A and B are shown apart, each in its own frame.
Chain A
Amino acid sequence: MLALTYDVGNIWLDSLLGVLALVALMTVSALMLIWLERKISARIQMRLGPMRVGPYGLLQTAADALKLIGKEDLRPKTANRWVFELAPFAVFVPTFAALVTIPFTRDWAIAFLDLGLFYVVAVTGLAFVGFLMAGWASDNKYALLGGMRAAAQLISYEVPMVVTLVAVAMVAGSLNLSEIVLFQNRIPLFVWQPLGFFIFIVAALAELERQPFDIPTAESEVVGGPFIEYSGIRWSMFFLASYTSLLIYSLLGSIVFLGGWEWPLGTEAGLWLQILLILVKTSLFIAFFMWVRFALVRLRIDQLMSYCWKVLIPLAFLQVFLNGLVLVYGWPDGFLLLTSGAGLALAMYIIYRAVDTEPRELRMVPARGGGSSAQAATVDATGSG
């Protein structure tokens, strides 16, 4: 991070240091995130999680990484060599490139791009190529299936994601991430656009391929999907990229919807406060994503698609439309909150109604004459007793 704060003076050296800092950040954060995820999953499942390597198992993932680096780099004999070996990079590089423009505080970023938001979306959208390459080149049916699923899912969910971010950019009047944060000032955007926030979270979950959208890598169906034939360092690159994406989307979410390094109590936060704020907000996202992963089951591919195209995209366009109305007619933001909130309620209602949530009653046939007459003859199957 040194490069970010001190101007070295030489543009090449500066960029190099920035990139190095990013690589370090990526690696460390990915290791930490993996550890965190294991811990959270353990606690949700009332386990302890990694405890042995380092205090509270903190170094467990580092040890794992070392092990992975040391592992033999296997390649199936019938795999398509070049595509197979290049696929991890095709996933890794876009993810890494997207991190370049994300500002961490008001003054810290490798590059402040005018088109920052657009850049992040465009570049992360390239990751599907890697999945498809990995799936195709592995010469494995599970991998191919997973690769196709991944590509279809990523492309589909990019649409609501982009449209929602467009809605944000509309009101912020800029695609520059820093300016979006500045625009939010005291009241973060998710207050005004709950619907957009919701769509962003769902789309991010899908882009990250986490439950309930982990269809491409579904363990119980396609056994890890495109990564099935990978091992060692290449596999860990996929893993690294996946957790870096988690970081990127969390950062993006906290910047775009939670107000980044700003907070409601004051606008001129100091550097350390800024870092703290963005860390906390990003952690909220990360914790939420991890929490969801262990609370929900996986959707089916057709359900995933229809949810995207029939629910999310129309709602995202609704959000854009509402923003347009507010902008053109200069209606108060409260209107946006109301309508967007109504849209969110609609989204939830759709989820509630689209599925057959009618509580099913089990027919209880009493055994031995009267049966357990103490209990009601029919037990509400969904009751939690």
Chain B
Amino acid sequence: MTVAQLIFYVIAALAVAGGLGVVLARNTVYAALFLILALLAVAGVYILLASEFLALVQVLIYAGAVTVLMLFALMLTRVGDLPETMTGAQWPLAAVVSSLLMGLLVTTVATSDWPGDADGTITRIPFEQLGEALFRQWAVPFEIASLVLLIALVGAIVLARDEDDDVEESE
């Protein structure tokens, strides 16, 4: 086991722990904090996959901005932190199905023959090249993504707006 593998196992364990925390925690804020942990661990996975840029994007946007929204929402909606209301009644069935799904996926992964698997050698892609590709080859999806962001922004503002505020402002 090399050092890299050791690091991978640690990070993977953190990610799985975070994920389990998200779905099992009895406290909503705990769940959100576990989510941050999981997201940071995924960022670590990205680093292991030699995509530092992606890792930083993950940290900046996911862990840094998306989760704050969730925390805000949790605190604003003040959803009852009562443990008995956290999990729905169908959890046993869901657990079975999820485990089945996991089994299926893992089996598929294990039984398949993947390319580039032989030596565990990966390729580091310079982020300049990434940028080139993003803005030339993928320019149209990029623009669409920005449009989607804009629309989401407007939509979120319109939706979250309080009618009372409108009245106040018009006065």
Contacts from A to B (Cβ < 8 Å): 80, 83, 113-115, 118-119, 121-123, 125-126, 128-129, 132-133, 136, 144, 148, 151-152, 155, 158, 162, 175
Contact of B56 among A115, A136, A158 (CB under 8 A): A115
Tell me if B75 is interfacial: C-beta within 8 Å of chain A. yes
B64 touches A158 (CB 8 A): yes
Nearest CB on B from A218, distance (A): 19
A83 contact from B33, B52, B67, Cβ within 8 A: B33
Task: Say yes or no: B56 contacts A155, CB within 8 Å.
Answer: no
Cβ-defined contact, A129 with B52, below 8 A = no
Report the Cα distance A188→B60, complex, angstroms: 28
Q: Does B12 contact A (CB under 8 A)?
A: no
A126/B63 contact (C-beta < 8 A), A83-B33, A114-B127, A115-B53 known? yes
The 9 listed contacts between A and B (C-beta, < 8 Å) are A83-B29, A115-B53, A118-B60, A125-B65, A136-B29, A148-B75, A155-B65, A155-B68, A175-B127
Interface string of B73-92 (1 = CB under 8 A from A): 00100000000000000000
Q: Are A128 and B64 in contact (CB under 8 A)?
A: yes
CB distance from B43 to the nearest CB of A (A): 9
B42 within 8 A of A: no
Looking at the assembled complex, report how far the CB atom of A361 sits from the nearest CB atom of chain B, in whole angstroms: 28
Q: Are A122 and B56 in contact (CB under 8 A)?
A: yes
Interface of A is mostly: helix
Name the 4 nearest CB pairs between A and B, nearest first.
A125-B64, A122-B60, A122-B59, A122-B56
| B64 pairs with A144, CB closer than 8 A | no
- Closest approach, in angstroms, between the C-beta of B166 and any C-beta of chain A? 16
Closest to B43 in A: A122
A5 CB, nearest partner CB in chain B, Å: 26
Distance between Cα atoms of A132 and B36 in the complex (Å): 13
The chain A residue with its CB closest to the CB of B53 is A115
How distant is the Cα of A320 from the Cα of B53 in the complex, in angstroms?
21
Closest to A124 in B: B64
Q: Which of B35-66 contact A (CB under 8 A)?
A: 36, 52-53, 56-57, 59-60, 63-65
> In whole angstroms, what is the CA distance A125 to B58 when docked?
12
Which residues on the B side are within 8 Å of A148 (C-beta)? 72, 75
CB pair A115–B52 under 8 Å, yes or no, is: yes
Chain B interfacial residues counted at CB < 8 A:
19
Residues on the A chain within 8 Å of B57, using CB: 122
Query: Are B68's CB and A128's CB within 8 A?
Result: yes
Within 8 Å CB of A113, what residues of B? Answer: 52
User: Any chain A CB within 8 A of the CB of B71?
Assistant: yes
Residues of B within 8 A of A123 (CB): 59
Residues in chain B near residue A121, CB distance under 8 A: 60
Partner of B64, one of A83, A115, A122, A175: A122
The distance from the CB of B103 to the nearest CB of chain A, in whole angstroms, is: 33
Q: B134 to chain A: closest CB distance in Å?
A: 14
CB atoms of B71 and A119 under 8 A apart? no
Distance in angstroms from A219 CB to nearest chain B CB is 23
Distance of A158 Cα from B63 Cα, bound (Å): 14
In angstroms, Cα B27 to Cα A85, docked, is 17
Chain B residue nearest in CB terms to A175: B127
Contact check: which of A114, A151, A158 meets B71 at CB < 8 Å?
A151
Asked if B71 and A132 make an inter-chain contact with CB atoms under 8 angstroms apart, the answer reads: yes
- A125 and B59 contact, CB distance less than 8 A: yes
Q: Which residues of A contact B68 (CB under 8 A)?
A: 128-129, 132, 151, 155
Shortest C-beta distance, B114 to chain A (Å), equals 29
Given A115-B52, A175-B127, 8 new contacts (CB under 8 A):
A115-B127, A122-B60, A123-B59, A128-B64, A129-B63, A136-B75, A148-B75, A158-B65
Considering residues B30, B52, B60, which has the most beta carbons from chain A within 10 angstroms of its beta carbon?
B60
Find chain B residues with CB under 8 A from A119 CB. Answer: 56
Which A residue's beta carbon lies closest to that of B57? A122
Q: Would A126 and B64 count as touching, CB distance under 8 A? A: yes
CA distance A121 to B63 in the complex (A): 13
Closest to A119 in B: B56
**Nearest B residue to A12 by beta-carbon distance?**
B3
Q: What's the Cα separation between A155 and B53 when bound, in Å?
A: 20
Q: Which of B36, B65, B71, B127 has the most CB of A within 10 A?
A: B71
Q: A132 — which chain B residues lie within 8 A by C-beta?
A: 68, 71
CB distance from A147 to the nearest CB of B (A): 9
> Which residues on the B side are within 8 Å of A118 (C-beta)?
53, 56, 60
Q: How far is the CB of B53 from chain A (nearest CB, A)?
A: 6
Closest to A144 in B: B75
Give the complex CA separation of A121 and B53 in angstroms.
13
Which of A126, A128, A133, A162 has the most chain B CB atoms closer than 10 A to its own CB? A126
- In the assembled complex, the CB of A367 is this many whole angstroms from the nearest CB of chain B, namely 40
Contacts of B65 in A (CB 8 A): 125, 155, 158
